[in-house]
Amino acid sequence: MATYVVGDLQGCLDPLTALLEKAGFSVEGDRLWVVGDLVNRGPQSVDVLRFLRSLGFAVTAVLGNHDLYLLALAAGLPPKDKLGDTIQPVLDAPDRDVLMDWLRGLPLMHAEGAWAMVHAGLLPQWSVPQALGLAEEVAENLRGDNWRGFLLELFGNKPTQWGESLSGWDRYRIVINAMTRMRFITPEGVLELKPKGPPENAPEGLIPWYSAANAAWRTHTILCGHWSALGLRDMGHVVALDSGCVWGGKLSMLRLEDRSVFQVDCPACSLPGGSD
């Protein structure tokens, strides 16, 4: 049995099925981990959700920012009409409710052995066990009867700094923003959500989240996506897997047992520009 971890799909099913075939993935014996952003911008968001759901216990996926945005739209959030969004076909699908129930049952974070998977990253103050507990607090609300009301309160950029005393919406919001949107922080671990460029061009006073000294999560190797400008990078303590499939780049997958990398090109998913 092998465990494969694939980067951001963003509605690109054909590259995923080609990549699984290339790696020799077996649904009967292997496992597939997905780092989030299953939907949006690509042309096959509905098909991606249906395919992953069909894999049953063979798949383990975490939520990304695009997935939460889809759930919020399903909950009644007015759409932002962003150029390039391709979410509406999911909302119009006859099995929409089944797909939304499956999606909101996914966690923000998953950990096994020495590995931990999250869409964007972890704040340096958080150990992996603490982060898993915080992710579960959010998951309980997403699985609950009031999931619609919960999602409609979550969008916003504040607070920007973690504190044990945070509660309610402030607590949930910073957990979600860190785990699904974060790229840069201050050396003290304060979130800065606006910059999106490559880590080499970090704005003055900011560092990539994974560069924080003495981060409590360093007991594990973090598997993440979200940052297409970062690309595929195995940095030892962090493996970044978003290699820009939806922007005409590649879809990347890591086999955990030997850290082998598998890639396929994504021309059919190519969109102009380049943004997460």
Query: What H or E segment, with its residue span, contains residue 102?
Result: helix 96-104
Query: What is d(CA 210, CA 248) in angstroms, rounded to the nearest whole number?
Result: 26
Identify which of 157, 55, 34, 58 has the alpha carbon closest to the alpha carbon of residue 107: 34
Residue 47 lies in a domain: yes
Residue 208 lies in a domain: yes
Residue 275 lies in a domain: no
165: left (phi over 0), alpha (psi -120 to 50) or beta: alpha
- Tokens representing 4 are 């494969």
Read out DSSP for 129-154?
HHHHHHHHHHHHHHHSTTHHHHHHT-
Helices (H) then strands (E): counts for the chain: 8, 13
**Residues 163-179 pLDDT 10s:** 999 999 999 999 999 99
Q: What are phi and psi of 43, to 5 degrees?
A: -90, 0
The pLDDT mean for the chain works out to 94
Taking the chain, what is the end-to-end CA distance rounded to the nearest angstrom?
Answer: 32
Give me the helices (H) in the chain, please.
13-23, 45-54, 65-75, 88-92, 96-104, 128-143, 147-152, 168-181
Q: What are phi and psi of 20, to 5 degrees?
A: -65, -40
pLDDT tier at 273, thresholds 50, 70, 90: very low
Residue 212 lies in a domain: yes
Q: Enter the pTM of the model.
A: 0.96
**Residues 96-116 pLDDT 10s:** 999 999 999 999 999 999 999
- Tokens representing 146 are 């009031």
Residue 276 lies in a domain: no
Give the rounded percent of residues in the chain with a pLDDT score beyond 90.
91
Q: Is the dihedral of CA 9, 264, 261, 24 positive or negative?
A: positive
Q: At 237, is the secondary structure helix, strand, or coil?
A: coil
Identify which of 152, 72, 141 has the alpha carbon closest to the alpha carbon of residue 107: 141
Please name the amino acid found at residue 37.
D
CATH code of residue 236: 3.60.21.10
**Residues 118-156 pLDDT 10s:** 999 999 999 999 999 999 999 999 999 999 999 988 889
Residue 274 lies in a domain: no
Predicted pLDDT of residue 268: 67
**Residues 187-230 pLDDT 10s:** 999 999 999 999 999 999 999 999 999 999 999 999 999 999 99
Query: What is d(CA 194, CA 175) in angstroms, rounded to the nearest whole number?
Result: 17
Q: What's the domain range around 101?
A: 3-269
Q: Is the peptide bond before 78 cis (omega within 30 degrees of 0)?
A: no
Query: What is d(CA 193, CA 12) in angstroms, rounded to the nearest whole number?
Result: 26
Q: Reply yes or no on whether the pLDDT at 274 is more than 60.
A: no
Domain count, the chain: 1
